[in-house]
Amino acid sequence: MRKGMFYGLLFTAPAILGFAIFTLGPMIASLVLSLTNYNVFQDQTSFVGLDNFVRLFSGKDELFYKSLGITFYFVVLRVPAVILISFGIALLLNLNVKGRAIFRTIIYLPSIVPAVASAMIWMWLLNPDLGLINSLLSRLHLPTSDWLYGESSVIPSVVLTTLWGIGSTVIIFLAGLSGIPRQYYEAIEVDGGGWFRKLSHVTVPMVTPTIFFNTIMTIIGSFQVFNEAYILTQGGPNNRSLFYVFYLWRTGFRDAEMGYASALAWILFIIILFFTFIVFRTSKSWVYYEGGDRA
């Protein structure tokens, strides 16, 4: 069509400008900042080369390794939990049960609750002295916990609170499950296979692309957890929930060390890219695409 180039650029101009102004520009600026000692409270800013990165890795900044370790622990705990539980729920929802729509709504609903409000609710539920959960546990004569206030229980507790917002992952799984042709199950029924055979031979292989997608999204999201750290724990107790992005925020916006915080941001970016890449690479051996292997 005539003048396609002109109109094409005209219509996409806001998006292209937005990308340049709010993504590309800041990215380059962030890279440059990470090579400076820019601190809002200090007058002099100079180019320091890789000093920030040396300072990070040299071990002088214990909190860097600590926050990294905590975040990894969180990711390792959360990702399998999210994937397994949401897949399990999606399997149940995929059955021909009455009231499916109601169950689906109930399970999705918490994921739209604002993070601050959800944090308030969970702080109240998990309150060690007055909370519902400890009170139920003690009535059942089960051990109670300090939850968010315990050094060893804080991370699992945060994982628990985020599991409440699992709904959107469930919905994506459900979409994947509903795309499986019935004939595959019928074939197994003819062969006399039962529930487990259907699951292992048809359901799981057929939803591997969805598992793959959800795994990547959950990894990316888990590395970036911030709201929970800020609202629920403020990094405590004793820095035991000093999540990486929370530490980054504190370094940049409380201690005003913007240069150093930019270096922290780039490390996170590289870590996320690395894990996404790994999952992509291994996916070739376990993700099944109907009608050929396009990755």
Partner 1 sequence: MRPSKLSLTASYGALILISAMFVIPFVWLIRSSLMNLSQIFTMPPEWIPKPFQWSNFHKALTVLPFDVFFKNTLIIVVTVLVGTVITSSIGAFGFSRIQWKGRDTVFAILMTSMMLPAAVTIIPSFLGWQALGFYDTLYPLIVPAYFGGGIFNIFLLRQFYLTIPRDFDEAAFVDGANYWQIYTRLIFPLSRSAIIVVALFSFLASWNDFMGPLIYLKSDSLFTLALGLQMFQGTYTAQWDLLMAASATVVLPCVIVFLAGQRYFLEGITLTGLKG
Question: Which positions from 197 through 236 interact with partner 1, judged by CB under 8 A?
Answer: 198, 213-214, 217, 220-221, 223-224, 226-227, 230-231
Q: What residues between 95 and 134 interact with partner 1 by CB under 8 A?
A: 95-97, 103-117, 120-122, 124-125, 130, 132
Instruction: Choose which of 47, 57, 65, 253 interacts with partner 1 (CB under 8 A).
Output: 253
Q: What residues between 137 and 196 interact with partner 1 by CB under 8 A?
A: 139, 164, 167-169, 171-172, 174-175, 185, 195
Amino acid at 184: Y
162, 171 Cβ separation under 8 angstroms: no
Q: What residues between 42 and 71 interact with partner 1 by CB under 8 A?
A: none
147, 157 Cβ separation under 8 angstroms: yes
Q: What residues between 74 and 93 interact with partner 1 by CB under 8 A?
A: 89, 92-93
Question: In the bound complex, what is the minimum distance in angstroms from residue 15's beta carbon to partner 1?
Answer: 3
Q: Does 135 bind partner 1 (CB under 8 A)?
A: yes
> If you count them, how many residues does the chain have?
295
Question: What are the E-state strand segments in 27-127?
Answer: none
For partner 1, the closer of residues 68 and 261 by Cβ is 261
Q: Which span sits near partner 1 by CB under 8 A: 29-37, 61-69, 70-78, 286-294?
A: 29-37
